[in-house]
Amino acid sequence: MEKKYYLGLDIGSTSTKAAVVDENIEVVDSSYIMTEGKPIEAIMKCLGLLKKNYEIVQAATTGSGRRLAKAMINADLEIDEITAHAVGVTHFVPDAKTIIEIGGQDSKNMILEDGVVIKFSLNNLCSAGTGVFLEHQANRLRVPIERFGDLALRSKAGCTIASKCTVFAETSMISKQSMGYKVEDIINGLCHSMVRNYINILVKNEKLLPPVVFCGGVSENVGVKYAFEEALEAKVIVPKHNKIIGSIGAAIIAKEEMDKTNQKTSFDFNIIKSDFKTKTFFCSICPNQCEISQIVRDETTIAFFGSRCGRYI
Amino acid sequence: MQSPIVSFPHMGESWIIMKAFFETLGLKVLVPPYNNEKTMKEGVINSPECVCIPYKITLGSMIEALKMGANCLFMIGGQRTGLCRLPQYVVNQEKTLREMGFEFEIYKVGDPLMIQRLLTKDLKELSGNPKDYYKKLIKALRIVWIKTELVDLTNQLSRFYRVYETNKGKTNKVREEMLKMVDDSKEIKELKKARKTIDESFKDIDIDKKREVVRILIGGEFYSVLDSFINCDIERRLAELNVLVENPTSFSYLIKAKMGLGIRKKLVRLGLKYVPVTSGGEDLPTIGRIEYFRKKGIDGYIILFPMGCLPETAIIPILDHLGKKFDLPIIHFSIDENLSETYLQTRLEAFINTIKRRKWKKNII
């Protein structure tokens, strides 16, 4: 019998990730590319980057583009980011009690008990304290984002930079620069400011118990990891596959679903060859004036988004 | 004054009830279009920035009504109403509307004395002092009560059938039809028949009783709970996620509460166990519901309140604490004109999925 594979696709605001797992939940293949504001192209590319066309029995999507992706590739499930990440992380770190996930434009905090989420929060104020914030500041300092973490570790003094808002952080950073602080110290300060921000917005008065797992794109940054360790006074674990853990979680849930329903998917790799178009228009039937987007695959409409009343489903 | 054309701001399906009341008294009624983006825009640009969303949307609704030709408005107000900022609203709104250049009469509904005067004097004058005014008034009040019950029944049944229906969207259609029928029935006899029709039409919907559902309680500030526009139709969204919604806030609940009857008293007493004082609004019932409905086997609690609502904001820390104590997942949403549907949808899905997984894990062990 041929081996069965499960596909998980995570369409984030900044990057698109795909993961393929086999029946023993071993990650056999994965791909990671930047979304660059073009999710449709990104999904195609991401699937194209996988090593071969696996025999996929079930596919699941997650991330902010999950609805679009589900309609596009005929996936069987769409899963919210919280569940996908929690499942992915608990597969690698079964006894995790706290998950910190910082991605491109959102950050999440999950508190777990016996491997299930009992409390979660997503950032709801602004994107200060997410990957975009660090990337922006790195651009300002002309430091490549990949070197950000190493530079932060080189700092011996550190400095305090206002958190809460990207604009205020920038003002505070400029004033520190004009005082003659070293770049390393400022970068270190930024990492700490980000962690403070995260704790202020998401954690509030919740207790973060170890083991603490840190994943998402920003977990590549060792500076932030150390800042977290200092703030929480606990060891922070960055698991294997930290960047694609959401898509692995989605694939695991797809496998669970398969075990329950035993229905084979209609997903097919030939989808990459189809031609996708989006149209947007304003519905003027009622005063709501919804902006509706229509997804067309090879001249057949596959989905509508944005209708409030349910006229376009 | 020219002949009065009565109007009022929207709150969920309350227009059916209000319209029936004024029409039975022989008044001409103008119902503004149901809350929509335009209402919101009108309300937001004419309101102070940090005031809560019910203020903005009711103002918008009144502006729309006045633009369509209404000249006599009814709005909640009065010294002892709600105990939050609500009594102040109608005063400000009246001023705003006058400054915008509208000419109209406004009647405040709230305190018992006010209602008494309204029923015995103002409405009598408005409807042109008919001889059989009191006979009409009694009939109107009876119709109000029956229609309130019918609207609540329709909502109650649609919550159940929406989750279990086999062909999606059928319940919403039936619900629209039934609400229209309740609105069209003018006599008490017809309304008695309507109750039967509602029961039967809902029973005709094909259901799949085996579907696994999660039971979620919705509570919080009543405008945000009852108005499907400002809460982005949260009940429909939840039903799509296989959630059986338990929503004890209804129009009959509000009317009963106003008269000191019904379940609210009990909820307040349960709430007082944890907070010794009330800061107004629905804060104590929101707390009390946790204990009351926990016994009835709910899996989670969603609390809705307008951004900046003092009573509800004040109790959030207590709710978090009680959630841990009773092992009940609680999530709260503060609603304002910037609430995006994606924001709500993502959190709802995450909330429901975590509850489902918790249940599923418990079953395995």
Beta-carbon separation of B353 and A64 below 8 A: no
Dihedral angle computed from the Cα positions of residues B324, B328, B329 and B331, in that order, rounded to the nearest 10 degrees: -90
C-alpha distances in Å from residue A32, one per residue of A46, A216, A220, B158 = 7, 12, 14, 44
Contact across the interface for B346 and A81, Cβ inside 8 Å: yes
Task: Check CB contact under 8 Å for A288 and B36.
Answer: yes
pLDDT at A77 > cutoff 70: yes
Mean local confidence (pLDDT), B152-178: 90
Interchain contact, B357 vs A83, CB within 8 Å: yes
Sign of the Cα torsion B102, B107, B111, B114 reads positive
Candidates B361, B281, B283, B266; CA nearest to B322 is: B283
Is the CB of A310 inside 8 Å of chain B's CB atoms?
yes
In this structure, the dihedral spanned by the alpha carbons of residues B283, B286, B288 and B293, taken in order and rounded to 10 degrees, is: 180
Nearest to B33 among A116, A124, A287 (CB): A287
pLDDT on residue B81 = 61
Q: Of the ranges A5-19, A59-73, B142-156, B273-287, which is most confident? A: B142-156
pLDDT, average across residues A183-194? 86
Chain A touched by B321 (CB under 8 Å) = no
What secondary structure letter does DSSP report for B104?
A: -
In chain A, residues 202-261 whose CB comes closer than 8 Å to chain B: none
CB–CB of B356/B364 below 8 Å? no
A2 touches chain B (CB under 8 A): no
A125 and chain B: CB distance < 8 Å anywhere? no
In sequence order, which residues have a C-beta less than 8 Å from that of residue A204 and are 6 or more positions away?
A: none
Say if CB A244 and CB A62 are below 8 A apart: no
Please report the ipTM that was assigned to this predicted complex.
0.88
Which chain B residues are closer than 8 Å to A252 by Cβ?
none
pLDDT of residue A89: 92
From the list A89, A73, A70, A82, the residue with the least C-alpha distance to A106 is A82
User: Does B128 reach chain A within 8 Å, measured CB to CB?
Assistant: no
List the B5-7 sheet strands across, edge first. Answer: B28-29, B5-7, B72-76, B105-109
Does B350 contact A287 at a Cβ distance shorter than 8 Å?
A: no
**Residues B350, A64: C-beta atoms closer than 8 Å:** no
Considering only the beta carbons, identify the residue of A116, A120, A287 that sits closest to B358.
A116
How far apart CA B25 and CA B124 sit, in angstroms, is 9
- Which string of b and e fits B43-55 if b means at least 16 CB within 10 Å? bbebbeeebbbbb
B12 contacts: CB under 8 Å, gap ≥ 6: B226, B227, B228, B251
User: How far does A156 lie from chain B, in Å, by closest CA?
Assistant: 39
CB contacts of B172 in chain A (<8 Å) are 310
Average pLDDT over residues B13-37: 90
Q: Chain B residue closest to A123 (CA)?
A: B343
CA A168 to each of CA A124, A174, A249: distance values in angstroms, whole numbers, following the listed order:
18, 10, 36
Residue B6 confidence (pLDDT): 92
Asked if the model's pLDDT at residue B82 lies above 70, the reply is: no
Greater confidence, A218 or A289?
A218
pLDDT confidence band for B7 (50 / 70 / 90):
very high
What are the chain B neighbours of A86 within 8 Å (beta carbons)? 354, 357
Q: Does B37 contact A83 at a Cβ distance shorter than 8 Å?
A: no
Q: What's the pLDDT band for B109 if we cut at 50, 70, 90?
A: confident
Cβ–Cβ below 8 Å for A115 and B361: yes
Number of Cβ within 10 Å of residue B260's Cβ equals 8
pLDDT at B37: 85
- Chain A residues within 8 A of B68 when measuring between CB atoms: none
Q: Using a CB–CB cutoff of 8 Å, tell me whether B313 touches chain A.
A: no
CA distance B139 to chain A (A): 35
pLDDT above 60: residue B58? yes
- All residues at 6 or more sequence positions from A138 whose CB lies less than 8 Å from its CB, including other chains: A144, A145, A148
CB contact residues (below 8 A), chain B span 158-177, against chain A: 169, 172
Residues of A in contact with B36 (CB under 8 A): 286-288
Nearest CA in chain B to A286: B36
Nearest-Cα distance to chain A for B268, in Å, is 27
* pLDDT-derived band at B153, boundaries 50, 70, 90: very high
What is the pLDDT of chain B when averaged over all its residues? Answer: 88
Q: Could you tell me which residues are beta bridge partners of residue A297? A: A276, A300
Q: Which residues contact B152 (CB under 8 A, 6 or more apart)?
A: B250, B251, B252
Compute how many other C-beta atoms are within 10 angstroms of the C-beta atom of residue B359: 13
Residue B349: its chain A contacts at CB < 8 A? 80
Is B357–A117 a contact, with Cβ atoms under 8 angstroms apart?
yes
Smallest Cα distance from A185 to chain B, Å: 36
Task: State pLDDT tens for residues B344-353.
Answer: 888 999 999 9
pLDDT at A167: 79
Contacts of A119 in chain B (CB under 8 A): 329
Q: State the nearest Cα–Cα gap between B311 and chain A, in angstroms.
A: 21
DSSP letters along chain A, please?
-PPPEEEEEEE-SSEEEEEEEETT--EEEEEEEE-TT-HHHHHHHHHHTSSS---EEEEEEESTTHHHHHHHHT-SEE--HHHHHHHHHHHHSTT--EEEEE-SS-EEEEEEETTEEEEEEE--S-STTSHHHHHHHHHHHT--GGGHHHHHHH-SS------S-HHHHHHHHHHHHHTT--HHHHHHHHHHHHHHHHIIIIITT---PSSEEEESGGGG-HHHHHHHHHHHTS-EE--TTTTSHHHHHHHHHHHHHHHHH-------GGGGGS-EEEEEEE--SSTT--EEEEEEETTEEEEEE--SSSS--
Q: pLDDT per residue over A199-230, tens digit each?
A: 888 887 778 888 899 998 888 888 888 889 98
Q: Is the pLDDT of residue B52 over 70?
A: yes
Instruction: Please give the pLDDT value at position A214.
Output: 92
